[in-house]
């Protein structure tokens, strides 16, 4: 576990906002590069009073291949912090485990809040890096042990059944988008809603177990837009209507404030529904009604395995003509797109 934790942790940084509204990274260990520094500042919720007022106590996001976890302290003791009015502590890591890093950042926040000394954060950081554990003396519930967190639980922390109940039959559009590796942008006024919703969507393609496609919270700074374009496939959450209004940035738009799903005009052909989509939608609705999230995931995974198995049984390389022999045009088109998404060999 120690070796694993050392591979996962990348860096820790402290951002401060002073009473003159200046915001900067005041300390980092071992350091953050310029691109990540710009991104953590843009996502810090410290750049304006309005941002501070709506800052989530905990945020997880991703940039490039780096997971970014952040905790914000809105109130500090002037006697300890002087001209500083708020601060955020950021941990950069390789692994997706929000609950683990929320627990770790809570301890870092307690340590820094009482001292305003970066060394109070460095000590427990180094302890976790080397031993996967740390303890703050004299603090109730002031210990952390990475071994008490299971990464698999992080995958299951947000129930997909809640998504199905929220969107009903339209959930099939989400399934189609995830299965075909389409670009999804999720808009909400509430950051917490974004985080909860986006992290559940990879469950629709459980066989891939790919949470790396998540960008749970993004802003519209140039580095972040470049990152989305370079990623190519993503599930990106935003509170900025300037991104959700740019249809060239998504194939599917989910507006959580309106509980609506919109297919971009350029992607309509990829969302043509078939009898198979009807079967999957029925399966999702029936299993979600039972309220058992694992039943939804298991049933959907078995159905997905069945669909992919039929494709594999046709042999490679696959061609539209070969798939079309046993499927109507709309279904054949979906199956060919799925084969591409799964990395199967396609005839030239």
The answer to whether the CB of 10 falls within 8 A of the CB of 93 is yes
Q: Which contacts qualify for 97-101: CB closer than 8 Å, 24 or more apart?
A: 97/149, 97/151, 97/154, 98/58, 98/60, 98/69, 98/154, 98/157, 98/195, 98/199, 99/149, 99/153, 99/154, 99/157, 100/146, 100/149, 100/154, 101/60, 101/67, 101/69
In the structure, what pLDDT confidence band is assigned to residue 292 with cuts at 50, 70 and 90?
confident
Give the tens place of pLDDT for each residue, 152-204: 999 999 999 999 999 999 999 999 999 999 999 999 999 999 999 999 999 99
In the structure, what pLDDT confidence band is assigned to residue 3 with cuts at 50, 70 and 90?
low
Closest CA to 63 of 17, 101, 32: 32
In the structure, what pLDDT confidence band is assigned to residue 6 with cuts at 50, 70 and 90?
low
pLDDT score, position 116: 96
Question: Please, is 46 exposed, middle or buried when counting C-beta atoms within 10 Å of its C-beta (0-12, 13-18, 19+)?
Answer: buried
Rounded CA gap, 197 and 63, in Å? 18
Give the tens place of pLDDT for each residue, 8-25: 999 999 999 999 999 999
In the structure, what pLDDT confidence band is assigned to residue 1 with cuts at 50, 70 and 90?
very low
The pLDDT > 90 percentage for the chain reads 87
In the structure, what pLDDT confidence band is assigned to residue 290 with cuts at 50, 70 and 90?
confident
Give the tens place of pLDDT for each residue, 209-233: 999 999 999 999 999 999 999 999 9
pLDDT score, position 5: 63
Give the tens place of pLDDT for each residue, 55-67: 999 999 999 999 9
Q: Which residue has the higher pLDDT, 7 or 84?
A: 84
The model's pTM is 0.95
pLDDT averaged over every residue in the chain: 94
- Is a pLDDT exceeding 60 seen at residue 205? yes
């Amino acid at each position: 576990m120690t070796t694993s934790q050392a591979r996962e942790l990348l860096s820790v940084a402290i951002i401060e906002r002073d009473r003159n509204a200046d915001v900067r990274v005041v300390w980092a260990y071992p350091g953050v590069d310029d691109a990540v520094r710009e991104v953590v500042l843009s996502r810090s919720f410290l750049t304006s009073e309005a941002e501070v007022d709506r800052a989530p106590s905990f945020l997880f996001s991703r940039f490039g291949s780096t997971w970014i976890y952040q905790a914000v302290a809105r109130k500090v003791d002037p006697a300890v912090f002087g001209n500083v009015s708020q601060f955020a502590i950021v941990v950069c890591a390789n692994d997706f485990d929000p609950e683990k890093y929320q627990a770790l950042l809570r301890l870092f926040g307690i340590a820094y809040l009482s001292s305003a000394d970066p060394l109070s954060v460095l000590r427990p950081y180094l302890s976790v890096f080397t031993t996967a554990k740390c303890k703050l003396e004299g603090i109730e519930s002031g210990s952390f042990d990475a071994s008490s967190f299971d990464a698999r639980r992080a995958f299951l922390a947000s129930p997909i059944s809640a998504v199905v109940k929220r969107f009903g039959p339209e959930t099939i559009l989400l399934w189609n988008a995830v299965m075909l590796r389409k670009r999804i942008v999720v808009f909400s006024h509430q950051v917490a809603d974004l985080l909860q919703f986006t992290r559940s969507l990879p469950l629709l393609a459980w066989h891939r177990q790919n949470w790396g496609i998540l960008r749970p919270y993004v802003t519209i700074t140039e580095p972040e837009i470049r990152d989305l374009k370079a990623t190519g496939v993503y599930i990106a959450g935003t509170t900025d209507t300037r991104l959700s209004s740019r249809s060239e940035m998504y194939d599917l738009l989910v507006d959580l404030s309106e509980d609506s799903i919109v297919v971009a005009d350029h992607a309509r052909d990829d969302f043509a529904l078939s009898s198979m989509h009807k079967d999957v939608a029925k399966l999702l609705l029936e299993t979600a009604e039972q309220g058992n999230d694992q039943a939804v995931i298991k049933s959907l995974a078995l159905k997905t395995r069945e669909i992919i198995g039929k494709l594999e049984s046709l042999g490679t390389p696959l061609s539209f003509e070969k798939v079309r022999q046993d499927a109507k045009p709309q279904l054949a088109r979906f199956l060919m797109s799925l084969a591409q998404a799964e990395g199967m060999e396609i005839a030239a």
